[in-house]
Amino acid sequence: MSNLLNHPEILNKARSEIDELTGSDRLVDEQDIVNLPYLQKIVSETFRLYPALPLLVARMSLSDCKVAGYDMPRGTMLLTNVWAMHRDPKLWEEPERFKPGRFEQQGEDKKLMPFGLGRRACPGAALAQRLVCFALGSLVQCFEWKRVDDKYVDMTECKGASMPKATPLRAMCKARPIVGKVI
């Protein structure tokens, strides 16, 4: 939502996509998510820049092994810096920019790993992705959103395992006509 407030053109595009699909007399539903590719790209781009667990979950080697050519003696703790991987200029064009459209290029989403990878990857990934899309889609559909002033929303992170924002988001919202119609 912070990024959408800083990029009103992206917010407008997401709203148009939802309005075109649902019309003006029904709320977005979980089943709609597959038909909202731009909304999904916004969520992917958010997971890229702000992975909720930027270092995933620590691993410890049970025996001596090698990882990417490095010796890992038994008992070594290994952290995967997904935050850095998701902003690696060798992997991403303009990595610091919030640009959901980048996922139009085939295969870009394969470079994301906000839910980890392999046997211990997040088993709730599909549920979480649907839920986040659904929640964001509902907020976009039901309300007009604006920043509280001319200043951009501060995206600075502060210390914490899940990348909390240094300044909590404050925003203005106004119910759209659909809210009066269906609720």
Q: Does 53 contact ligand HEM by CB under 6 A?
A: yes
57, 176 Cβ separation under 8 angstroms:
no
- Residue number with CB closer to ligand HEM (126 or 179): 126
Q: How far apart are CA 98 and CA 82, in angstroms?
A: 17
User: What DSSP element (H or E) covers 99?
Assistant: none
Q: How far apart are CA 107 and CA 119, in angstroms?
A: 22
Residues that bind ligand HEM (rule: CB under 6 A) add up to a total of 15
Q: Does 55 contact ligand HEM by CB under 6 A?
A: no
Within residues 104-123, the interface with ligand HEM by CB under 6 A covers 114-116, 120-123
Q: How far apart are CA 97 and CA 133, in angstroms?
A: 20
Q: Tell which one of 14, 132, 133, 136 touches ligand HEM (CB under 6 A).
A: 132
122 annotated as a binding-site residue: yes
* Per-residue interface string for the shown chain with ligand HEM, residues 8-47, x marking contact by CB under 6 A: ----------------------------------------
Helices (H) and strands (E) in the chain, counts: 6, 6
51, 81 Cβ separation under 8 angstroms:
no
| Interface contacts to ligand HEM, rule CB under 6 A | 52-53, 56-57, 114-116, 120-124, 127-128, 132
